[in-house]
Amino acid sequence: MNYQLLGENIQRVRKFRGMNQQELADAIGINMQSLSKIERGVNFPTFDTLEKITSALGVTPNELLSGEWKNTSHMEQEILKFLECEERLNVELAHGQHDNDFDSDEEWKEYELKKLREYIMGYIGSEEDRESLSSVPGIEGFEDLKGIE
């Protein structure tokens, strides 16, 4: 078993659910240092702790161990894909591996945010979907999606 992969998956789902380490640690009844060691792959959780983690995060053990979990809406999968691409792009930008025509990082970020909003609005058809997206944890800055056309 790859402890580090499990820890990364726990951390990824925890962050996606909008929880910090302390909140998850409290929910499963362990201290934050123990959770930190699990997320870093230093320690492997006991079966009881793993069961509590999956319950608190709303995933099955198989989903958590494989790193592929079922999302509660079709939009969450698209958001996850976008966030993974953005993470890769940020690494490329940090290492100077991505060429672009922008004069500053701030200008690039504004453009990226504009394109993200356009993409999401093009993808979302109904007002109900827009409202549900604005309440998804982890997508700060999109609370105003209902008003974007």
From first to last of its 149 residues, the chain has per-residue pLDDT tens of: 677 888 988 998 888 888 899 999 999 999 999 999 999 999 999 999 999 999 999 888 888 887 666 555 556 666 777 777 777 777 666 666 555 666 777 887 788 778 777 777 666 666 666 666 666 665 555 555 444 44
Distances (CA, A) of 25 to 28, 39, 44, 57: 5, 11, 15, 11
Q: Which amino acid is present at 86? A: E
Say if CB 21 and CB 39 are below 8 A apart.
yes
Note the pTM of the prediction, 2 decimals.
0.49
Kindly provide the b/e burial profile for residues 104-130, where b requires at least 16 CB atoms within 10 angstroms of the residue's own CB: eeeebeeebeeebeeebeeebeeeebb
